[in-house]
Structure 1
């Protein structure tokens, strides 16, 4: 494991893992940790502290870790950017956290014609770019340090959603490239970007869509609120797997020629068009020590490794071997 007894106590004690990602340099990782305080987790007044932990795997132990801790931050997600080379962390209210200085700013611009502000559901990476997904089907593209481009005026929102007065969110986005991307969200909403504009595509179910992956086999995989798995592309979709789970998937990914899905309950793979726990897979079942580290997934920028992390720790898979990076105390 990458910690010794002293550094593990200094950086992990009293916290659990909420999200994590690869950096753009070999051996670099970024994690969002949440204070493991039962009262704060139950009542969230005050909010539990958020700690950003950055790891340089190949550095000496006394130079391997760096962390910053914030108060009043509401459950952030993290991703990495090559330009400049850093980590982008944004909480649900739009506060941007930086590993270089405590706070870069805030994404909370008012949507034209309303008095509502956007909230951020997830930070994602497509190609070399980082995007923040928000309410009212906003997608912010990071174009430089502290600079974000808002696509709101280029994305057609169905009139009935504006008329209803609800707050509709994108929950996830993925792409074969930055000119071929899919964003999914509330009420069975699927939007496709063709390099010039966003267009809504028909989807056969009016249900919240929670994850999307543009897979190496040329297909797009979508999971919904109940963990049903849909496969297709453009406006053609079929329900590949029917499920009825109580907790939606947080992340999905294509790695080692198969689809992976995860939430706090476990890590699943698609095998023979069936969703099976990865620990029970016929092909390369994951070890029990990894199965308990469920929660989030990230794929390295070179597509050679997969990170899984959750309340109990983090592990990396290279397609053949699993390495547990660290374990930590789960949420109480």
Structure 2
């Protein structure tokens, strides 16, 4: 009989709070920073002292960022993430200065991910323990019930990743968690025939990691891929999950079902695989210290990013992306695609690509 599911993450006994800090800024202009979209006053109010950890495009001209308080993070250390304030900021460039960038804050939360939900016209904010908040960026945010947890799903363990596929939101995580959002407070389990972890799996770090899904993508709802641990790749055909014969036991972190018909999987140390079904090729072997955080398809290309930079796959080769300036390059870290645009954001700033050209949103070092 399967073991009762213990929590996979430490939840500190801290009250969860979420509040708005949406008062307009007193803005100033600076002709030296006209290349950037944000003014220094806007940057200081919304991003100063915070580091971006995730981003999402709801639609063209609506860009969202999750950031965490840097000073609190340094004090809390790696085991007290709930002590670190998270901030959701949204930027709508067509609005006038003073109201085009707003935010709300989350206290008492562990790791927080965001994802665009185009079918509802909202952004989903989901914590590692399944807490859910949605917002349309108009002060209409709502707290929902936690994603239900049970052996049969929709949530078996923690939530590690969100992904929009065909305008629908999928969440994956530990203990072979896979679920599909069907509407407010409605999550459908896609755990199906995936193995149910037993007590021995929880007691063995390697076996537990091999059941912890890191990412999901798909060509359609009936053609999905998920990845976990040391080369664990599964495929969904609309009815059941099948284990893929992946040719490596490298740890895998990111996946993209691209417009060229291939699946790209980012593995440890910047390794990259390309394939589909049971046929795979290693394109790049261990070129970096960090794995790729995000892989996306945009403007007819595969794009890959980590804190080290931004790359494309061209003719089966990984090449550094052709960027107009170092100010754009330092924004690397996370990618999100929607409505024909690609948002890139990371430790040092944010930029957006409209399919043809880049526009710098902000570069924090220019405000140092």
TM-score after normalising by structure 1: 0.87
Contact conserved, 1:185 with 1:210, CA < 8 A, in 2? Answer: yes
Contact conserved, 1:156 with 1:200, CA < 8 A, in 2? Answer: no
SS at match of 2:269: coil
1:146: how far off? 1.8
Measured against aligned partners, the alpha-carbon deviations of 1:107-135 in whole angstroms (never above 9, x if no partner) come to 3513259xx95111111110110011110
Question: d(CA) in 2 for partners of 1:75 and 1:329?
Answer: 25
**Structure 1 pair 311/5, CA: closer, same or farther in 2 (3 Å)?**
same
Question: d(CA) in 2 for partners of 1:39 and 1:213?
Answer: 33
Contact conserved, 1:16 with 1:328, CA < 8 A, in 2? Answer: no
1:59: how far off? 1.6
Contact conserved, 1:131 with 1:141, CA < 8 A, in 2? Answer: yes
Alignment partner of 1:65 out of 93, 97, 101: 101
Alignment partner of 1:42 out of 77, 84, 108: 77
Q: Which has the larger radius of gyration?
A: 2
SS at match of 1:61: coil
Alignment partner of 1:109 out of 110, 133, 149: 149
RMSD across aligned positions (CA): 2.5
Partner of 1:291: 329
Measured against aligned partners, the alpha-carbon deviations of 1:61-118 in whole angstroms (never above 9, x if no partner) come to 23322311111222212111123211011122222233334632323513259xx951
SS at match of 1:207: coil
1:329: how far off? 6.2
Question: d(CA) in 2 for partners of 1:105 and 1:89?
Answer: 12
Structure 1 position 176 matched with structure 2 position 211: no
SS at match of 1:23: strand
Partner of 1:92: 128
1:171: how far off? 0.8
Contact conserved, 2:151 with 2:196, CA < 8 A, in 1? Answer: no
Contact conserved, 2:133 with 2:142, CA < 8 A, in 1? Answer: yes
Contact conserved, 2:55 with 2:334, CA < 8 A, in 1? Answer: yes
SS at match of 2:145: strand
Measured against aligned partners, the alpha-carbon deviations of 1:181-216 in whole angstroms (never above 9, x if no partner) come to 211111311111222332222111123211111111
Question: d(CA) in 2 for partners of 1:162 and 1:145?
Answer: 33
**Structure 1 pair 64/44, CA: closer, same or farther in 2 (3 Å)?**
farther
Contact conserved, 1:54 with 1:65, CA < 8 A, in 2? Answer: yes
Alignment partner of 1:323 out of 348, 355, 359: 359
Contact conserved, 2:69 with 2:86, CA < 8 A, in 1? Answer: yes
**Structure 1 pair 327/219, CA: closer, same or farther in 2 (3 Å)?**
same
**Structure 1 pair 61/146, CA: closer, same or farther in 2 (3 Å)?**
farther
Alignment partner of 1:190 out of 213, 233, 251: 233
